[in-house]
């Protein structure tokens, strides 16, 4: 049973955070809601030479889905597949398995079970929604472990899970202070947890998100990446896979 001191401390923390929780709700209500992009959620990228096949699964939240662009051809998955096909000299069959608003828990319980099997690389993009919901670190860690456990069953022998780091929400100017500082702090805490998961799990790699360079990399909602940002992310993850893959 928790001590009186612990209960009192929790109550004080909740009272201190309540204005920020209300501020977060107001910001989310005002934020422009963008749709997921148009187009097929799977495709095949051909290489100029080579006959091999690499299966790429991109799974997770709205960034995985490509929110921020009109057509999926400008989103991360097909752009990453095109770079991998050119660099590896093989065909890349890519699939998007994502949902706007998905948390780690939702991804593990609702998205992974129906995802395609026999994948070579699974890129996981989740976390921002957990930051916005202030998911506790212990809960986040347990959910991410469940996600990795479930996803490993969808890989071919020797397949790789890539955990994308969380973006630094301190750089997201669409959030006012002091909310932005709180989200940045909590995001860094959750990011440290997935770094540790990758260190202790075989076949799991952590790749940090690149820093946000400016407002020109955001979509019109000032929250999601735009086409230029997705191109940069594709190059970033392709370079990381060349190192770790």
For the record, the structure tokens of 128 come out as: 């921002």
C-alpha 92 chain-centroid distance? 21
Whether 226 contacts 218, CB under 8 Å = yes
Q: Per-residue pLDDT tens for 215-240? A: 778 888 888 999 999 999 999 999 99
Q: Per-residue pLDDT tens for 23-41? A: 666 666 666 789 999 999 9
More confident: 101 or 5: 101
What's the pLDDT at 5?
A: 42
What's the pLDDT at 18?
A: 61
Task: Measure the CA angle with vertex 228, ends 226 and 232; round to 5°.
Answer: 115
**pTM of structure:** 0.88
Whether 57 contacts 119, CB under 8 Å = yes
Structural domains of the chain ordered from first start: 31-244 (3.40.50.1110)
Q: Which residues pair with 55 in a beta bridge?
A: 93
């Amino acid at each position: 049973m928790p001590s009186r001191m612990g209960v009192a401390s929790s109550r004080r923390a909740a009272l201190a955070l309540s204005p920020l929780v209300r501020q977060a709700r107001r910001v989310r209500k005002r934020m422009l809601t963008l749709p997921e992009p148009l187009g097929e959620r799977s495709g095949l990228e051909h290489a100029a030479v080579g006959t091999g096949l690499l299966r790429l699964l991109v799974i997770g939240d709205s960034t995985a889905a490509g929110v921020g662009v009109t057509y999926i051809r400008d989103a991360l998955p097909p752009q990453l597949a095109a770079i991998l096909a050119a660099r590896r000299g093989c065909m890349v069959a890519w699939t998007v398995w994502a949902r706007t608003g998905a948390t780690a828990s939702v991804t593990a319980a609702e998205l992974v079970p129906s995802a395609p099997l026999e994948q070579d690389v699974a890129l996981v993009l989740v976390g921002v929604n957990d930051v916005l919901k202030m998911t506790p670190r212990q809960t986040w860690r347990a959910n991410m472990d469940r996600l990795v456990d479930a996803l490993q069953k969808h890989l071919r022998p020797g397949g790789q899970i890539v955990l994308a780091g969380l973006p630094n929400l301190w750089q997201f100017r669409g959030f006012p202070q002091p909310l932005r500082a709180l989200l940045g702090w909590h995001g860094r805490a959750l990011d440290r947890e997935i770094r540790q998961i990758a260190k202790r799990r075989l076949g799991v790699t952590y790749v940090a998100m690149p820093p946000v360079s400016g407002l020109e990399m955001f979509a019109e909602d000032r929250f999601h990446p735009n086409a230029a940002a997705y191109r940069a992310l594709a190059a970033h993850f392709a370079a990381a896979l060349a190192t770790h893959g």
